Amino acid sequence: MTASVTQLRQHAQEEASRFPALLARAEQLAGTVLLGEHGRRRAGLGDDFWQYRPMRAGDSYRQIDWRRSARGDEQFVREREWQIAQSVQIWVDPGASMRFSSDKALPTKADRARLMALATAVLLIRGGERVGLTGWMLPPRRGEAQVLRLAEILSGDSEADYAEPEARGMIPHARALFVSDFLGDLDAVEAALTKAADRGVRGVLAQVLDPSEEHFPFEGRTIFESVGASVAHETLKAGDLRARYLDRLAERKARLEALCRLTGWHYQCHHTDQSVQAALLWIYRAMDGGHG
Amino acid sequence: MTLFGILGFTTPWLLLGLLALPILWVILRAVPPAPIRRMFPGVVLLLGLKDDEQVSDRTPWWLLLLRMIAVAAVIIGLSGPVLNPEPNREAAGSGPLLVVMDASWASAGDWRARMDALDGLLARAGREGRPVAILRLTAPEPVRFLAADVLRTRIAGLEPTPWQPDPDSVAQITTMLPEGDFDSYWMSDGLARDGREAMLAALENRGTVTVFESPRSVYALEPARFEDGTLILAMQRLRPGPESAVTLLGHGLDPAGNPAVLLRAPISFEAGALRAQSDLSVPAELRARITRFEVEGTRSAGAVTMPDDSLRRREIALLAGREDREGLELLSPLHYLNKALVPTADLLDGALLDILPANPDVIIMADVVRVSAAEEDALVDWIEQGGLLLRFAGPRLAASDIARDREDPLLPVRLRAGGRSVGGAMSWGEPKTLAPFDEESPFFGLDISDVAVSSQVMAQPDPSLAARVIAQLTDGTPLVTRKPVGQGQVVLFHVTANAEWSTLPLSGLFVQMLERLAVSATTTTPDAAELEGTTWQPVRVLDGFGAPRDAGTLPGVAGDALVSAALGPDLRPGLYTSDDRALARNVITADTALEPVVWPDRIPVEGLSRPQETPLAGWLLALAILALLADVIASLALSGRLRSTRATGTAVAVVMGVLLSAPEAMAQQDSAAADEALALAATAEVVLAHVLTGDDALDRIAAAGLKGLSQTLFFRTSVEPADPVGVDLERDELSFFPMLYWPITPEQPTPSAEAYAKLNTYLRSGGMILFDTRDADIAGFGSNTPNGRKLQALARPLDIPPLEPVPQDHVLTRTFYLLQDFPGRYAGRDVWVEAAPPDAELIEGMPFRNLNDNVTPIVIGGNDWASAWAMDQRGNPLVPIGSGYSGERQREIAYRFGVNLVMHVLTGNYKSDQVHVPALLDRLGQ
């Protein structure tokens, strides 16, 4: 009992020590993207002045800005900037397969995925959106405190080798961000996307891959094992498998892309040796573009 | 051992292991390399993929070949391969084996190789169970056959002797040979000599004879000769060969007394030549130090030669009592000595006290009666240190009353007044002749014919007289007496050194006696007759390898045997001494000629020329390890484990770093350049200097003071000094500066001994130091200030003459200005300068005495002149003096003192001499 409590506490401290770093990095990363990307730049519900326009049929008298209208003969309506808040739900693959990097100099896929997701969340929350996780654990909310909660929950790991996307608790017409290596069962992904599409949820699929998964630089007699050691495959000549492996990978990517096209999602593949900033910018644009 | 041409194997059956190689090939080929476990999330994409080839991945053929080479190298290496193996000698019978060794100096050069050959021979004999005996012809012992293994343990004790087997003992050995038949193995040194034939015949009577001879040439170094100022070293070699160069080394003690190589002389044999010679010009001092010459890299007594007195030229000082008879050369007391000594010695002349520091070997005084007390003390000291004082009598000595009542330290005996004359025109009797020499006499054995003595000084009868006589006349009166003093001796010839009193200087005996007394040394080796009757004690002897050893308790050798007898156990080569003479007996003499021995055709001669046996096992096993290392790397590369090249890169970088890190040349501060700059600055103009005391404020004031004085000199006189400099006594050269200003602080460090030496040189060579205690108090008698005490401490090691307060008529009072006192910041009382000579007196009509001719080397005062002189850049005084006008007046007088001082330094007593101007003008008639 005591041991488990101690263990838990130690674990918690380890985790806690991890996510401020993650948070700090995410905020720093978000800071680089925030510049120049602000506001919705269209009329809508909000507090900030957007423009005056002549009154049209259908406008209620309450909308007329009398101070402006008193300066002339026409009646003007004061429009405010559109500031409606959107709900964004995030899912980051907690599976063991994400905890892999082929080189000490590279981050693990999980690390990269969390960073991307959290940085996106920071950006969105600063933009006034409500951000949460799929499923029931953390419904979308606004405010900086939500970032902390997100970071905490994102730091959790799952034991399973390949995790399935969480598509429950989707808020209709919300936005979604799925970050994973998508090496698990694609049918589950398809089911999740279909379910989301049914509810009018659109979003972004970001696939994070390690360079070794992209290039398969192996030779010789090798036994390949998954991170959780649940799956293994032995080959006598790893080099001979390269072409067929790459075919299968391309096929998988193509299927994901087709799925996204079908459901109105965006798909992007990111490698851990590439710039995380570019990936974040793309995700942010893709999320934002979804509004249009 | 099995032989395959030039390759042999000690355990050839191990080579059967090579048969297993093809099987190993098949097995290795069948076994695939072990798999790597690799974590890879993308494994799901691989599931279900089949390998194209169902056959397992084979090890590539070149890797297999590498492994085969490694295994083959191990197998062959373990089977003991030997290149150029020792062939099995033809079975030379099974009887006893007698190993005959010349074991002379000529075989010492390659003694190690000979012992190795002997060891192999004994090992073989041991395997064959043959009893063996070893017979050294140079040190014969009765022959006893022993088990070879027993003898093998004694090989280390065998050493070559520095002599050769002599024919007599060889003949004797032939009678010592044991009964029965035996085979012989003769390890020859290659030199032809008498007695070989007889020995060979005796051995051949008993069995077969095999001769072992080294192909290496034997070098022999002839004794060094000294002819016409040239040192001649000559070498011989046994067999003609191609052109070759060797180096001769001259060993001796360096001036510090440590053994060192003092001389290196290259000497080269022309192609086909048997003899080579090198003429060297070597300074006498160096020549006298050399104790042995040797051929570099050759360990043999024949390649070493020891020089003796023949290389040495003694330094002899000649002093005569009268030099007043110009033109009468033949009557000069030194004429015959000169003639006798010039060929073999370096002669010195001069005053006795000038000669003694040169430490001559001998001082000869011909008819000198008295020397001064100081000279006598110095002379006695010199004799006690080992000098030889040789005196000749003469009319003056006979007329003097020296050594009448008591023994003179510089004469061996007491003398009777007047001497005596016999056989002259005015006297009765015949001139006396010499009595034969005693055995104790150093002259024992010399021929005494045709010497006649007509006059002599007579010794007083004395208890000690008999022991001191080393030569006497037929009537028993002493002719030569000798007395030891300390380590040296005093010898008196009771006759003159010229032919006035005796015919001794005209005879050959005179020269021989001088030689015996080690006054002169011959340049040629004396022959046996000359050395008859002398006994020579060995000092250092050579062993067979040519290494000098202490002679220890070896017995003395008779003089005639020393030069004529053959070397042997009783006469070892080395350096022998008798009294003060030294004679070297070398292995090689001037008439030694090396001649190779010619063996009859029937005798098989072996040599060392066969290629050396080389075991190859080590090389092969190393090759196997290298191949296995390469296999490790290749296997790693093949199985993809060598993907991370970072470690390799790091290792390469480290190696390259080590290789490329050339030692960075440290830029050394070139102090020589700084010294040169100082010298240039100090000599281009007159420069005043002050001694740096280490007290910054004081040094600044001193510099400013000298600057002010320099300015004053520049404006008022024709002395135009440059800026003053501060000198560091330890580092800087002082001789550039006419004067040094030395302010005293109690804290300043005392200069080192070197600095004091420099200061003394500076003072003696005309420099002047102005000491300033800056306490206005030094001149007060009995006063004692810290600065004054410091000055005493500083000046104690200096070479300072007696001092006195500046007298009224000192030249310092009038070199430029007329001064009465010498104030600085303080108007202290006296200033001290070098005292006037005691005989300086005031001459009537002269305003002042004629004092020292030189500049006073020291001026001591306490008036803090630098403060009074000190001036800033604009010429304003730095330190206030006194008050109002009187202070300014005092400063002015201080400047005037400075001007006078510099003038005194630069012009000396010029102003004193001005007093003579009226007289000179008067004499010139103006």
Is A212 within 8 Å of chain B by CB? yes
Is the predicted pLDDT of residue B328 greater than 70, yes or no? no
pLDDT at B787: 81
Residue B334 to residue B367: CA distance in whole angstroms: 10
Q: Which of the two residues, B95 and A10, has the higher pLDDT score?
A: B95
Contact B305, B221 (CB under 8 A): yes
- Residues of chain B neighbouring A256 (CB-CB closer than 8 A): none
Percent of chain B past pLDDT 70, that is, above it, reads 86
In the predicted model, is pLDDT for residue A97 greater than 80?
Answer: yes
- Specify whether A67 is located in the same domain as A144: no
d(CA B811, CA B911): 7
Distance (Å, whole) CA B760 – CA B513: 48
Nearest to B41 among A217, A226, A238 (CB): A226
Higher pLDDT: B853 or A127? It is A127
Largest CA-CA distance found in chain B, in angstroms, rounded:
151
Judging contacts by C-beta atoms under 8 Å, the chain B residues touching residue A240 are 51-53
What is the token pair recorded at B329? 């050369």
Chain B residue closest in CA terms to A96: B41
The CATH number linked to A112 is 3.40.50.410
Does residue A156 fall inside a structural domain? yes
A111 and A130 inside one domain: yes
Instruction: Establish if A17 belongs to a structural domain.
Output: no
Closest Cα to residue B76, out of B165, B147, B8, B142? Answer: B8
Q: A167 and A176 in contact (C-beta within 8 Å)?
A: no
How far is residue B808's CA from residue B39's CA, in Å, rounded to a whole number?
112
Nearest neighbour of B35 by CB, restricted to A183, A223, A249: A223
- Site from A183, A215, A219 to mutate, B interface, most B CB atoms within 10 angstroms: A219
CB contact under 8 A, A231 and B32: no
Q: Which long-range contacts (CB under 8 A, 24 or more apart) does B354-358 make?
A: B355/B317, B355/B319, B356/B382, B358/B315, B358/B317
CA distance A265 to chain B (A): 24
Examine the domain organization and report whether A76 and A88 are in the same domain. Answer: no
> Which helix (H) or strand (E) covers residue B3, if one does?
strand B2-4
Handedness of CA B153, B155, B156, B157 (dihedral sign): positive
* Res B741: pLDDT: 92
Instruction: Locate the chain B residue with the closest alpha carbon to A247.
Output: B45
Distances (CA, A) of A216 to A247, B38, B46: 11, 12, 11
Write out chain B residues lying below 8 Å of A225, CB-based: 37-40, 43
Chain B hits for A105, Cβ within 8 Å: none
Determine the distance in angstroms separating the CA of A224 from the nearest CA of chain B, rounded to an integer.
Answer: 5
Query: What one-character-per-residue DSSP string does B73-102 give?
Result: HHHHHHT-EEES--PPPP---SS-EEEEE-
The predicted-structure confidence for B619-639, as pLDDT tens digits, reads as follows 889 999 999 999 888 887 776
| Residue A12 to residues A8, A153, B114, Cα–Cα distance (Å) | 6, 12, 85
Considering the domain architecture, whether residues A126 and A257 belong to the same structural domain is answered as yes
Smallest CA-to-CA distance from B443 within B382, B504, B364 is with B504
Q: What share of chain B in percent tops pLDDT 90?
A: 5
- The contact set of B with A (CB < 8 A) is 32-47, 49, 51-53, 56-57, 638-640, 643
Instruction: Indicate whether B657 pLDDT > 60.
Output: no
Residue A231 and residue B43: Cβ atoms within 8 Å?
Answer: yes
CA distance A185 to chain B (A): 9
Residues A278 and A189 both lie in one domain: yes
* Residue B645 predicted with pLDDT over 60: no
A277-286, B506-515, B642-651, B686-695: least confidently modelled range: B642-651
Tell me which residue in A210, A216, A220 faces B639 most closely, judged by beta carbons. A220
Question: A–B: how many Cβ contacts below 8 A?
Answer: 107
CATH architecture of the domain formed by B314-516: 3-Layer(aba) Sandwich (3.40)
The domain ranges of chain B are 97-218+596-612, 219-312+538-593, 314-516, 675-916
Question: Quick one: average pLDDT of B726-733?
Answer: 86
pLDDT tens per residue across span A132-165: 888 888 888 877 788 888 888 887 777 788 888 8
CA–CA dist A15, B367 (Å, integer): 118
Predicted pLDDT at B663? 38
Tell me which chain A residues have a C-beta less than 8 angstroms from the C-beta of B37: 222-223, 225
Pairing relation of β-strands B420-421 and B455-456? antiparallel
A240–chain B Cβ distance below 8 A for any pair: yes
Name the CATH code of domain B675-916 (choices 3.40.50.12140, 3.20.20.150, 2.40.50.140, 3.30.565.10).
3.40.50.12140
Start-to-end Cα distance in chain A: 55
Q: Residue B661 and residue B664: Cα distance in Å, rounded?
A: 8
Q: Does A210 touch chain B (CB under 8 A)?
A: yes
| Chain B residue whose CA is closest to A225 | B39
Chain B partners within 8 Å of A241 (Cβ): 46, 49, 51
Of B32, B42, B45, the CB nearest to A236: B32
CA distance A128 to chain B (A): 37
B659: confidence class by pLDDT, cuts 50, 70, 90: very low
In chain A, residues with a C-beta closer than 8 Å to the C-beta of B638 are 219-220
Q: Is a pLDDT exceeding 70 seen at residue B62?
A: yes
CB contact under 8 A, A224 and B40: yes
Mean pLDDT of B544-557: 84
Contact B41 A210 (CB under 8 A): yes
Domain assignment present for A178: yes
| Contacts with A279 (C-beta within 8 Å, 6 or more apart), sequence order | A116, A206, A268, A270
The pLDDT, as a whole number, for residue B592 is: 79
Has residue A130 been placed in a domain? yes
Structure tokens at B94: 């099974």
Of B51, B315, B657, B3, nearest to A245 (Cα)?
Answer: B51
Give kind and range of the element (H or E) at residue B348: strand B345-348
Q: Is residue A146 part of a domain?
A: yes
Residue B500: pLDDT above 60? Answer: yes
A32 and A64 in a single domain? The answer is no
Structural domain range at position A53: 49-80
From CA A288, how far away is CA B222, in angstroms rounded?
Answer: 110
Question: Could A221 and B57 be called an inter-chain contact, meaning their C-beta atoms sit closer than 8 Å?
Answer: yes
Cα–Cα dist B900/B902, whole Å: 6
Q: What is the number of domains present in chain A? A: 2
Q: In terms of pLDDT, which residue wins out, B472 or B422?
A: B472
Please give, rounded to a whole number of angstroms, the shortest distance from the CA of A23 to a CA of chain B. 27
Taking alpha carbons only, the member of A219, A216, A221, A222 closest to residue A242 is A216
Cβ–Cβ contact A93 with B under 8 A: no
Q: Which of B33, B34, B39 sits opposite A227 (nearest CB)?
A: B39
Sign of torsion over alpha carbons B296, B297, B299, B303: negative
Q: For residue A15, is it within any domain?
A: no
Q: Which residue has the higher pLDDT, B780 or B208?
A: B208
Same domain, A55 and A125: no
Q: Which of B39, B56, B640 sits opposite A100 (nearest CB)?
A: B39
pLDDT confidence bin for B662, thresholds 50/70/90: very low
A252 vs B contacts (CB less than 8 Å): 45
Integer Cα distance of A77 and A68 in angstroms: 8
Selecting from B38, B49, B57 the residue whose C-beta is nearest the C-beta of A241 gives: B49
Range with the poorest average pLDDT among A63-72, B414-423, B702-711, B778-787: B778-787
Q: In chain B, which residues have their Cβ closer than 8 Å to the Cβ of A224? A: 38-40, 42-43, 46
Q: Report the residue count for chain B.
A: 926
Model pLDDT, residue B101: 86
For chain A, give the mean pLDDT.
Answer: 80
- Between B480 and B835, residue with greater pLDDT: B480
CA distance B505 to B499: 6
Contact criterion met (CB < 8 Å) for B40 and A225: yes
Per-residue model confidence (pLDDT) at position B557? 86
Tell me the backbone φ, ψ of residue B182, rounded to 5 degrees: -160, 160
* Rounded CA separation B393/B411 (Å): 10
Q: Please give the average per-residue pLDDT across B326-346, as a whole number.
A: 73
**Do B97-218+596-612 and B314-516 come out as alike in CATH topology?**
yes
Top-tier CATH class for B97-218+596-612: alpha beta
Neighboring chain B residues of A109 at a CB cutoff of 8 Å: 41
Contacts B643 to A, Cβ<8 Å: 217
Contact A220 B33 (CB under 8 A): yes
Could you report the per-residue pLDDT of B357-384, keeping only the tens digit for each?
878 888 888 888 777 778 888 889 988 8
- pTM of the complete model beyond 0.90: no
* CA closest to A224 among chain B residues: B38
Residues of B in contact with A186 (CB under 8 A): none
Separation between Cα atoms, residue B750 and residue B748, nearest integer Å: 7
For chain B, give the mean pLDDT: 80
A179 and A140, same structural domain?
A: yes
* Three-state secondary structure call for residue B614: strand
Clarify whether residues A73 and A89 are in a common domain. Answer: no
Say whether pLDDT at B831 is over 60: yes
Phi and psi at B473, nearest 5°, equal -85, 175
Alpha carbon distance B671, B244 (integer Å): 46
Q: What does the alpha-carbon distance between residue A131 and residue A141 come to, in Å, rounded to a whole number?
A: 6
Is residue A65 a part of any domain in this protein? yes
Strand partners of residue B550: B540
Search chain B and give the residue with CA nearest A248.
B45
Residues A190 and A141 grouped into a single domain:
yes
Task: Give the residue-averaged pLDDT of B630-657.
Answer: 63
- Which residue of chain B has the CA closest to A252? B45
pLDDT > 80? residue A17? no
A222-231, B148-157, B601-610: segment of lowest average pLDDT = B601-610
pLDDT at A48: 64
Kindly state whether residues A232 and A254 are assigned to the same domain. yes
